[in-house]
């Protein structure tokens, strides 16, 4: 290609790059720190068979989301087979037992989990932050319930969303907390012995071995609320 043609082609390309966009053109949307768009869509509902139920399955029953805690497939000598379940309501925390006919169709709850960090408590609200977008999610006492006794600033939790709303959150299975009040420990007793109540820095009270002293950090299982070990 001749030099004059190359120069002409480059100038034409430059003019095109600098040309203002018309009403029909598209430009990338700007992204602002701390702002995140959730996809706007209708709630998705998936049907599954009662035979597919297992621990952890999320179901929609009577218009509310439930989590299966226990299940048992029963095939009696007479009559139709069924599935006996124990479920917990994500929103209210209530636990019920419910039976489903074997092979019946059930709506699966489309829940999603997002990791957020508990950053601080603002009055009666608990503030969780997305460390990527800096978006804040606030939960009240009603949503947090008795899980607040294990919450500590800087702790990562899984917030559970259903229909674009937070319906529950999951704590880490094991948390490290400090003993702030307890009877004096028994020196030399590090294996055997009884237990004593200890108050932790979140306000929770747990039974710990008698050798645990004030100022020590311990690991607690949030599922049972019981002492696991020294940290």
Q: Dump pLDDT digits (tens) for 97-154.
A: 999 999 999 999 999 999 999 999 999 999 999 999 999 999 999 889 899 999 999 9
69: domain CATH number?
2.30.30.30
Whether 2 is covered by a domain: the verdict is: no
**Alpha carbons within 13 A on the beta-carbon side of 34:** 1
Q: What is the dihedral of CA 168, 171, 173, 174, to 10 degrees?
A: -160
Residue 82, pLDDT > 90, answer yes
Whether 51 is covered by a domain: the verdict is: yes
51 with 103, same domain: the answer is yes
68 with 122, same domain: the answer is no
Whether 18 is covered by a domain: the verdict is: no
pTM of the model: 0.67
Tell me which residue range forms the domain holding 67: 46-108
Residue, of 184 and 119, whose pLDDT is higher: 119
Residue, of 117 and 16, whose pLDDT is higher: 117
3-class SS of residue 218: strand
179: domain CATH number?
2.40.50.140
The total of structural domains in the chain comes to: 3
DSSP code for 146? G
Classify residue 20 by burial, with Cβ atoms within 10 Å: 0-12, 13-18, 19+: exposed
Query: Distance between the two ends of the chain, CA-based, in angstroms?
Result: 74
What span, in angstroms and rounded, lies between the C-alpha atoms of 91 and 23? 46
Whether 8 is covered by a domain: the verdict is: no
85 with 119, same domain: the answer is no
For residue 211, the model assigns a pLDDT of 92
Average of per-residue pLDDT across 160-185: 92
What span, in angstroms and rounded, lies between the C-alpha atoms of 52 and 70? 13
For residue 47, the model assigns a pLDDT of 76
Instruction: Identify the domain boundary among 70, 88, 108.
Output: 108
Residue 16's pLDDT band (cuts 50, 70, 90): very low
Whether 38 is covered by a domain: the verdict is: no
To which residue do tokens 């008795």 refer? 146
Whether 189 is covered by a domain: the verdict is: yes
For residue 33, the model assigns a pLDDT of 36
186 with 214, same domain: the answer is yes
Residue 8's pLDDT band (cuts 50, 70, 90): very low
For residue 46, the model assigns a pLDDT of 62
Average of per-residue pLDDT across 88-93: 90
102 with 50, same domain: the answer is yes
181 with 226, same domain: the answer is yes
Work out the mean pLDDT of the chain and round it to a whole number. Answer: 82
Whether 144 is covered by a domain: the verdict is: yes
Structure tokens at 97: 């037992």
For residue 32, the model assigns a pLDDT of 31
Question: For the segment 24-60, what is each residue's pLDDT rounded down to a tens digit?
Answer: 333 333 333 333 444 444 445 567 888 899 999 999 9
Instruction: Identify the domain boundary among 108, 124, 154.
Output: 108
Q: Say how far residue 114 (Cα) sits from the centre of its chain.
A: 6
Instruction: Identify the domain boundary among 119, 139, 170.
Output: 170
DSSP code for 145? G
Structure tokens at 166: 């937070």
Whether 22 is covered by a domain: the verdict is: no
Cβ–Cβ < 8 Å for 178, 217: yes
């Amino acid at each position: 290609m001749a030099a004059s043609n190359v120069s002409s082609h480059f100038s034409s390309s430059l003019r095109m790059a600098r040309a203002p966009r018309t009403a029909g053109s598209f430009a990338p949307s700007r992204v602002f720190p701390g702002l995140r768009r959730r996809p706007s869509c209708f709630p998705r509902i998936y049907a599954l068979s009662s035979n597919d139920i297992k621990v952890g399955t999320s179901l929609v029953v009577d218009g509310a989301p439930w989590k299966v805690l226990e299940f048992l497939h029963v095939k009696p000598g007479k009559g139709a087979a069924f599935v006996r379940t124990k479920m917990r309501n994500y929103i209210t925390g209530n636990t019920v037992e419910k039976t489903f006919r074997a092979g019946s169709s059930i709506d699966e709850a489309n829940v999603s989990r997002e990791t957020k960090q508990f950053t601080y408590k603002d009055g009666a609200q608990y503030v969780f932050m997305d460390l990527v977008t800096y978006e804040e999610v606030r939960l009240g006492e009603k949503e947090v319930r008795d899980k607040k006794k294990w919450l500590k600033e800087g702790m990562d939790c899984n917030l559970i969303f259903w229909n674009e709303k937070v319906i529950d959150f999951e704590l880490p299975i094991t948390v490290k907390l400090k003993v702030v009040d307890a009877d004096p420990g028994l020196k030399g007793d590090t294996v055997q012995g009884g237990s004593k109540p200890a108050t932790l820095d979140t306000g929770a009270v747990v039974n710990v071995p008698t050798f645990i002293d004030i100022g020590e950090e311990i690991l607690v299982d949030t599922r049972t609320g019981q002492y696991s070990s020294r940290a």
